[in-house]
């Protein structure tokens, strides 16, 4: 039965509601098993399709595209035609094309010393010139690249992809970072997820993940999945090898805006393996909305990040990894130089947990799905309690064991009123698995409020 938007009579709440689409932006369910995991959205407005991260509302969102594993295309040779085309445009249009057509991913930094002022010291007969020592930027970048490049690998994923009515095995390519000498490699989850069997969490029977080392490009290693975490877009894979060069990890908490940033990865795929781009740290502690259900805390840089760079390293001036290249922002205005990396401190903590347990430990879970169409306005119009309508309960979950049922309305959690899913998530995430928390629900079938206790479970899904 549908909610009644005008009557004062109580009607049994269900997970469907007929409303004017002009008034409700989306209709969806959230699962409180993780941070808004498993949500499905419908949007009446116009949308854009991202490379890997899904749909975006073009009315009020800046679309953040996963830089993604590079989708291999069938072709006869390397793109000399493309390089020639750029050269022709340059020669025909001259300097006017700089702002409109040509993208300078790593501008040459001149020696600025000749432009610096000199100081003089007053004396009877002498003038003393004070010399300013300028760091040799090109030499520094070279040193960074020589130090870090051996630890940045290529990742090739071959998996079945559906194209309209047909499907085929298709390769895609990305980047990864060696974090242990015995074959453990850190990358983005979206680089490898096409190869994953969602039921088992392992590589699908027909799929394959290969790792290509910089000095052994003709000898790919078959990789296995150690663990992956969709919420932070991190994954760890492993190859059967020892004595590998390990990347030196820095401290992303110490990163400052304006510092040098160097990105190393495989933009465009393995044909351009080990490409180095240079920029600065443009921002720290950024929060980007990947889609309606996922946010990432990231470092912003103008070092060029392109498809194939995903999973590669963002480095500081010491050649230490400070971030995992993950995202690139694109807008209708065509802004460039807005790339994002997951801070290495967070990535390392995730990787350590994945290696030790196969999942990220310590995340709380309730095990209920919330119907977002049931709002405070709808509750008031239908003379129902304000709260969160439970549309499903996961069997044997914390909510199931506490006695929560489908169509219950959660009105309080941990003694606090809850009106939105975000409020419930915030309180839930302040607890750890094993905590016992009070919860109040209104049960329509019995027309009464129940005071229950729930022992918070642990989310092992990685979603």
By annotation, the residues acting in catalysis are 190, 233, 310
Q: In whole angstroms, how far apart are CA 104 and each of 19, 98, 107, 135?
A: 50, 8, 6, 22
- Rounded to 5 degrees, what are φ and ψ at 380? -65, -40
CA atoms within 13 Å, Cβ hemisphere of 64: 20
Residue 86's SS3 state is helix
Element (H, E) at 234: strand 234-239
Q: Distance of alpha carbon 412 from its chain centroid, rounded? A: 32
Give the DSSP letter of residue 117: -
Q: Which token pair is 55?
A: 């749909």
d(CA 166, CA 163): 5
From CA 147, how far away is CA 359, in angstroms rounded?
A: 31
Q: How many residues does the chain have?
A: 463
Distances (CA, A) of 188 to 17, 177, 345, 426: 38, 10, 15, 26
HSE-up (13 A, CA, CB side) for residue 270: 20
SS3 assignment, position 162: strand
- For 251, how many CA atoms within 13 A lie in the half-sphere containing its CB? 2
How far apart, in Å, do the first and last CA atoms of the chain sit? Answer: 31
- Answer for the pair 412, 439: CB distance below 8 angstroms, yes or no: yes
């Amino acid at each position: 039965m549908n909610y009644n938007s005008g009557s004062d009579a109580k009607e049994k709440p269900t997970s469907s509601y007929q409303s004017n689409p002009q008034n409700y932006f989306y209709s969806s369910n959230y699962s409180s098993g993780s941070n808004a995991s498993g949500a499905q959205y419908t949007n009446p407005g116009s949308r854009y399709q991202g490379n890997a991260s899904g749909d975006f509302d073009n009315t009020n969102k800046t679309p953040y595209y996963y830089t993604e594993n590079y989708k291999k295309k069938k072709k006869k040779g390397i793109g000399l035609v493309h390089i020639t085309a750029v050269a022709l445009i340059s020669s025909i249009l001259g300097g006017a094309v700089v702002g409109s057509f040509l993208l300078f991913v790593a501008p040459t930094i001149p020696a600025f010393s000749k432009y610096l002022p000199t100081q003089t010291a007053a004396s009877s007969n002498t003038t003393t010139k004070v010399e300013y020592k300028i760091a040799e930027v090109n030499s520094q970048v070279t040193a960074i690249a020589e130090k870090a490049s051996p630890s940045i690998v290529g990742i090739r994923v071959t998996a079945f992809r559906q194209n309209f009515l047909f499907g085929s095995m298709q390769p895609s390519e990305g980047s990864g970072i060696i974090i242990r000498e015995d074959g453990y490699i850190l990358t983005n989850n979206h680089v490898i997820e096409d190869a994953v069997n969602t039921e088992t969490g392992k590589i699908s029977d027909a799929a394959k993940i290969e790792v290509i080392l910089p000095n052994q490009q003709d000898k790919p290693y078959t990789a296995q999945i150690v663990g992956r975490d969709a919420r932070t877009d991190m994954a760890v894979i492993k190859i059967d090898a020892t004595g590998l060069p390990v990347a030196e990890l820095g401290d992303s908490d110490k990163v400052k805006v304006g510092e040098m940033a160097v990105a190393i990865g495989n933009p465009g795929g393995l044909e351009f393996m080990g490409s180095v781009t240079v920029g600065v740290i443009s921002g720290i502690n950024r929060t980007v909305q990947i889609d309606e259900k996922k946010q990432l805390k990231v470092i912003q840089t103008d070092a060029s990040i392109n498809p194939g760079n995903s999973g590669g390293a963002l480095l500081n001036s010491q050649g230490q990894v400070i971030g995992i290249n993950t995202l690139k922002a694109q807008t209708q205005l065509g802004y460039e130089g807005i790339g994002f990396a997951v801070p290495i401190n967070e990535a390392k903590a995730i990787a350590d947990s994945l290696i030790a347990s196969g999942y990220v430990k310590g995340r709380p879970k309730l095990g209920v799905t919330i119907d977002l169409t049931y709002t405070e306005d709808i509750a008031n119009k239908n003379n129902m309690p304000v709260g969160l309508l439970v549309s499903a309960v996961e069997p044997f979950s914390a909510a199931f064991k506490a006695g929560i049922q489908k169509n219950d309305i959660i009105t309080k959690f941990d003694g606090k009123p809850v009106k939105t899913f975000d409020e419930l998530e915030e309180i839930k995430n302040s607890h750890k698995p094993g905590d016992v928390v009070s919860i109040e629900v209104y049960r329509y079938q019995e027309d009464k409020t129940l005071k229950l206790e729930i022992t918070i479970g642990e989310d092992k899904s990685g979603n």
